[in-house]
Structure 1
Amino acid sequence: MGREFSTITRRCERAVVTAYRDLRAHGSDDFAAFGACTTLYRIHHPEASVNEARRLVAEWIDHHIVRRDSAPTPGCACD
């Protein structure tokens, strides 16, 4: 796992960001990687609606992958 992901404290957030990065690195297009990560989030949080999962995954991808921001993100309340 790269240094830029070491500050992510939520396990589900780290899993989503790592999966997205790895899927894209191995040739998956953005839409397929996003869909897989939405499913991954819902495995961690089956209580979440599809819309909630999509919103959080999109926020996390934008925050960590697009903007390369290492500050904490808002999101789910798990550790």
Structure 2
Amino acid sequence: MGRDFSHIARRCERAVVTAYRELREQGTGDFSAFGACTALYRIHHPEASASEARRLVAEWLDHHIVRGETGPTDGCRCD
């Protein structure tokens, strides 16, 4: 059922997408999984505001989960 997201270059992006997928597979609701992933992003980037974290997480989930794209995203500036 799950997909391998190892192709994602940014560690924070890969962690967020993988965590969301695994939480949803375990039965966690969408809103709760999204909130957990936003918190996870902020652990990687404590300098990010809550709104910035929500925007990036939403973009990544849309790109990788909803649309199933494998190409790079604009995302954040880290490696």
Q: Same fold (TM over 0.5)?
A: yes
Number of residue-to-residue matches in the alignment: 78
- Identical columns (%): 73
Which consecutive aligned stretches of 4+ in structure 1 deviate over 6 angstroms post-superposition?
A: none
1:1-79 to 2 correspondences below 5 Å? 2-3=3-4, 5-79=5-79
Query: For the residues of structure 2 that align with 1:52 and 1:2, how far apart are their CA atoms?
Result: 26
Query: For the residues of structure 1 that align with 2:28 and 2:64, how far apart are their CA atoms?
Result: 18
RMSD across aligned C-alpha pairs, in angstroms?
A: 1.1
Q: Please report how far the alpha carbon of residue 6 of structure 1 lies from its aligned counterpart in structure 2 after TM superposition.
A: 2.3
- Give the TM-score, by structure 2 length: 0.95
Q: Which has the higher contact order (CA 8 A, sep 6+)?
A: 1
- Give the TM-score, by structure 1 length: 0.95
- Unaligned runs of at least 5 residues, structure 1: none
Q: Please report how far the alpha carbon of residue 2 of structure 1 lies from its aligned counterpart in structure 2 after TM superposition.
A: 3.3
